[in-house]
Structure 1
Amino acid sequence: MTRQLHILFVVLASFLVSTTVVSQTSDVTVSAILTVESDRLFAESEFGLRVGREIEAAQSILLAENRKIEAELTAEEKALTEKRKQMTAQDFRAVADAFDVRVQDIRRIQDTKAGKIEQLRDQEQVAFVNATRPILVELMQDAGASVIMERRTVLASNDAIDITDRAIARLNLAIGDGAGLRQIP
């Protein structure tokens, strides 16, 4: 089985090398198969950098808010503990239960805010994929390729068929940071 796998790798590598030509004059890869690093495409594009900044800012705001709420609730809990000495068990139980309900409500609100940040990230990624698709198709057509594969899933390839840098450059020219693509719900 190992020998068969080795032979498959050699044949695949030979195929990729023999079908890939890089034109020295136009910097165009001609290949039936191209690869792209989609994570890097997103992370290094103006679009992805903007989204990263926005998500990081929103998460920082939420984190600061959570810390403030935590400090306030800790102080309130400490005050309740002090008041307990002057209250009947029944009165304290009512106050403690109300405090617990309030804490749960706050937790739900904060979890909802965190969920909205994740939802924004997901929406932006969908917008990115939709904006990127025509650019990748154009690069594929330029190369005479039949397919673009995720580079992480390719076992061996010639670096010349990786179009990530060209895709980032074209994407930046075409849509910039993508802020204009945002669909506000």
Structure 2
Amino acid sequence: MMILSAVAGFGLATASMAQQGPGFSLGETVGAALGDGLVLRSVDEERLFRDSRFGQRVQAEIDAASRALEDENAALLAELTAREEELTGLRETLSPEEFRAQAEAFDQRADTIRQDQAQKLARFSQFEESERRRFFARTGAILQQVLQEEGAQILIAARAVIIGIPEMDMTGAAIEAIDDALGDGGAPPFPLTVP
């Protein structure tokens, strides 16, 4: 888990690590298992990214590129449809060889367009994954600072929590601190464009 590795120097616990600890079992208080005075906090990694200004900027870029791709797809579909209708009309006037050659060229063009558009669509998830990595690479020190401000020593991912109290979640405070420190993350190193 990215957050857990980002604050590795601070002391971490996951559900599996906690279960392997000496004497820890369900129903036992964490304080008794980990030692008096230790305080845990959790963060929801998905919400941390999604609700931050950084994550919202990434989503806005994906949405804009998606709309541009949809417009491009519509224009290409209109072009291919017109060409297909043209070929249908030429069928009676061309020799079978000429028609076959033009039909094959049309099929190749359609296949090339499909492949190009699929690659552009795949670029969206590649862009999002790249930006997520950049986000979490830059948030480790911020999360550590928020953890200290919360008076806690151990940060776990929210999905590792089986039972917890709402006060254990520091996602909101972490988002505020990340927004203050990183804003929207600035220009990505590999911008998302639809040529």
TM-score, normalized by length of structure 2? 0.76
Amino acid at match of 2:153: A
| Partner secondary structure for residue 87 of structure 1 | coil
The aligned counterpart of 2:6 is: none
The aligned counterpart of 2:102 is: 95
Shift of 1:140: 2.7
> Does the alignment pair 1:10 with 2:43?
no
| Partner secondary structure for residue 179 of structure 1 | coil
| Partner secondary structure for residue 149 of structure 1 | strand
The aligned counterpart of 1:144 is: 152
More helix by share: 1
The aligned counterpart of 1:183 is: 189
- 1:31–1:70 distance in 2 versus 1, CA, 3 Å: farther
* Cα distance in structure 2, aligned partners of 1:164 and 1:17: 25
> Does the alignment pair 1:171 with 2:188?
no
> Does the alignment pair 1:49 with 2:64?
no
Does the Cα contact within 8 Å between 1:132 and 1:171 map onto a contact in 2? yes
Does the Cα contact within 8 Å between 2:41 and 2:152 map onto a contact in 1? no
Q: For structure 1, which runs of at least 5 residues remain unmatched after alignment? A: 1-7, 20-29
The aligned counterpart of 1:3 is: none
Q: CA deviation digits over 1:134-183, x for unaligned, max 9?
A: 1112223343313x222123111121111100000000110111115x32
Fraction of identical pairs, as percent: 34
* Cα distance in structure 2, aligned partners of 1:16 and 1:90: 83
Amino acid at match of 2:51: E
Amino acid at match of 2:144: V
Alignment of 1:42-121 (within 5 A): 42-121=49-128
Q: CA deviation digits over 1:8-47, x for unaligned, max 9?
A: 5432xx437999xxxxxxxxxx853211011111111111
| Partner secondary structure for residue 67 of structure 1 | helix
* Cα distance in structure 2, aligned partners of 1:173 and 1:99: 53
Does the Cα contact within 8 Å between 1:31 and 1:161 map onto a contact in 2? no
* Cα distance in structure 1, aligned partners of 2:55 and 2:30: 34
Amino acid at match of 1:114: L
Length, aligned pairs only: 165
Q: Say what the alpha-carbon RMSD is for the aligned residues.
A: 2.4
> Does the alignment pair 1:125 with 2:132?
yes
Select between 115-124 and 127-136 the one with higher mean Cα deviation: 115-124
TM-score, normalized by length of structure 1? 0.79
The aligned counterpart of 1:4 is: none
Q: CA deviation digits over 1:35-71, x for unaligned, max 9?
A: 1011111111111111111110011101110111011
